[in-house]
Amino acid sequence: MADERKVCLSGTGVTKIYGFGRTRTLAVDHVDFKFYEGEVVSIVGESGSGKTTLAKMLLGLTSTTEGDIYFQGQKRDISTQKKRLEYWRNIQAIFQDPFSSYNIFNKIDAVLLDCIHMRGGRSFPRAKKIEMMTEACSFVNLKFDELTNKYPFELSGGQMQRLMIARIFLLMPKILIADEPTSMIDACSRATILDMLMGLRDEIGMTIIFITHDLGLAYYVSDSVYIMEHGKFVESGSADEVILHPKQAYTKRLISDVPKIYEEWDLSTV
C-alpha cells in the first residue's frame, strides 16, 4: 500500500559534530527521519542523547555538519536572512524554560503583534489586531484585557507557556517543535498545556514534534515515537509499538525507569 500521507519534514544522514580534535563530540550521528503532515512525533532520550541538538538543526538555529534536511519535499534553503524568515514562518518552537523565552523589555502586546506582523498583518487596522490577539489569548484561557500593558515576567510559568501557545495560534506554522514544553511546569498545568497543543493541532492541522525525556508524555500525545541514544535513533515506530512492546534494551530500560502506578516499579535495575 502506498503511503498517502504527505511528508512534511525529512532528513537523511543528518549529523552534528561539536568541537574538533580531542574535544570532538558527535552529538547527532547520521539520523534519517520522515515526519508526516498533521502527525505528532516524539523524540525521546535521556540527557545528552542529542535530542535538543537535533531540534536546533531542524529549526535552523544551528548548522548541520553533514546530511540534508528536506522541507515539503524540497531541500531546505536558509542561506539568506530572507529565506530563513520565510522558513520560520512555517516552523516554530516552544522551549523548555518559559522564563528565558521572552524579551524582558517587550510587553506582551508587542510579542503578539510581532506574530501578526510576521503573517503579513502589518497594515491591519488596530481594532482587527486587538480582535486577533483577544482570540488567540482566549484560545489558551488567558484574558487579553488583563495581559495588555503587562510584561511577560509578571506571569506565572504556566501562563507564560500558554502565551507561547497563543503566539503559535497566531502564527499558524506548518510544524511546531516543542522542546520539553512541560518539564518545568507542575503536573496539573501540564495536562492543560498538552490539551491546548492538541487542540491547536486539530485546529490548524500542524505537525508537532515533541522533544522530551518523559515517556509517559510521549506515549500520551504521539502517533509515532523515536528513541534516541548517543545521537542515534535506536528504535522508532508507532507509540503503541514502541512503548508497550519495546524491542531494544535501551528502550526497555528507559521505560522501566519511569515510576508507574499499576505495575511494580523495580528499583533493583540501577
Find out whether 197 and 208 touch, Cβ atoms under 8 Å.
Answer: yes
Length of the chain: 270
| Binding segment (CB under 8 A) for another protein, from list 3-11, 52-60, 124-132, 192-200 | 192-200
Residue 99, interface with another protein (CB under 8 A)?
no
> Whose Cβ is closer to another protein: residue 71's or residue 219's?
219
Residue 146, interface with another protein (CB under 8 A)?
no
Q: Which of residues 115-144 bind another protein (CB under 8 A)?
A: 141
- Which residue matches cell numbers 535552523? 60
Residue 100, interface with another protein (CB under 8 A)?
no
> Whose Cβ is closer to another protein: residue 85's or residue 191's?
191
Q: Is 193 helix (H, G, I), strand (E, B) or coil?
A: helix
Q: Which of residues 24-83 bind another protein (CB under 8 A)?
A: 46-47
Write the CA distances from 159 to 97, 137, 162, 185, 200, integer angstroms: 12, 10, 5, 10, 17
Buried b (16+ CB within 10 A) or exposed e, 14-51: bbbeeeeeeeeebbbbebebbbbebbbbbbbbeeebbb
Among 156, 247, 248, 249, binds another protein (CB under 8 A): 156
Residue 178, interface with another protein (CB under 8 A)?
no
Residue 149's contacts (CB-CB under 8 Å, 6 or more residues apart) are 107, 108, 109
Single-letter code of the amino acid located at 48: G
Residue 213, interface with another protein (CB under 8 A)?
yes
> Whose Cβ is closer to another protein: residue 174's or residue 213's?
213
> Whose Cβ is closer to another protein: residue 4's or residue 202's?
202
Q: Shortest Cβ distance from residue 135 to another protein (Å)?
A: 19
Q: Shortest Cβ distance from residue 232 to another protein (Å)?
A: 18
**Cross-strand bridge partners of residue 10:** 34, 70
The binding site for another protein (CB under 8 A) comprises: 46-47, 141, 156-158, 185-192, 194-195, 213-220, 239-240, 243-244, 253-255, 257-263, 265, 267, 269-270
